[in-house]
Amino acid sequence: MAALVASIYRGISYRGAEGQWAWILHRASGLGIVLFLYMHIVSIFIAAIGPGPYAWVHATLYTSPPAKVLEVFLLFGVLYHAFNGMRIIIIDFFPALGRYQRTIVRIELALVVIVLVPAAIITLRGIF
């Protein structure tokens, strides 16, 4: 716990710019996706039990307005984790590109936004 608090303090005080924030977002999105995945597996297991219980899960956890807002976070989390993971793989196998890592982070964020915006609009269309 103390290590976690110290890590958060260092995270705020250390000005590592793009690379540091890319790492923090990768970890946060990864843990968020794992939590969603737990819920996702349980909800599909409930579908295996029968149509009645699944209808409740579908209405509550997937299509209710709060779920739609959380869905946008999921879209961002998965897209960010996917594109940032590709950036990590590229830098790992072509270390010389580390020289342009700030530019690569910005290109990556632009790609995430380009895919995320239409997906988020489609997701939130229903609740407004």
Closest CA to 61 of 48, 79, 74: 74
Burial class, 78, CB count within 10 angstroms (exposed 0-12 / middle 13-18 / buried 19+): middle
- Given 17, 69, 117, 122, the residue binding other proteins (CB under 8 A): 122
117 binds other proteins (CB under 8 A): no
Q: Which two tokens stand for residue 25?
A: 């977002």
Query: Is 15 one of the binding residues for other proteins (CB under 8 A)?
Result: no
The residue among 28, 43, 107, 106 whose CA lies nearest residue 74 is: 28
Q: Is 27 in the site for other proteins (CB under 8 A)?
A: yes
The residues of the shown chain that bind other proteins, judged by CB under 8 A, are 3-4, 7, 27, 30-31, 33-34, 37-38, 41-42, 44-45, 47-51, 54-55, 58, 62-63, 71, 75, 78-79, 82, 85-86, 88-89, 92, 95-99, 115, 118-119, 122-123, 126
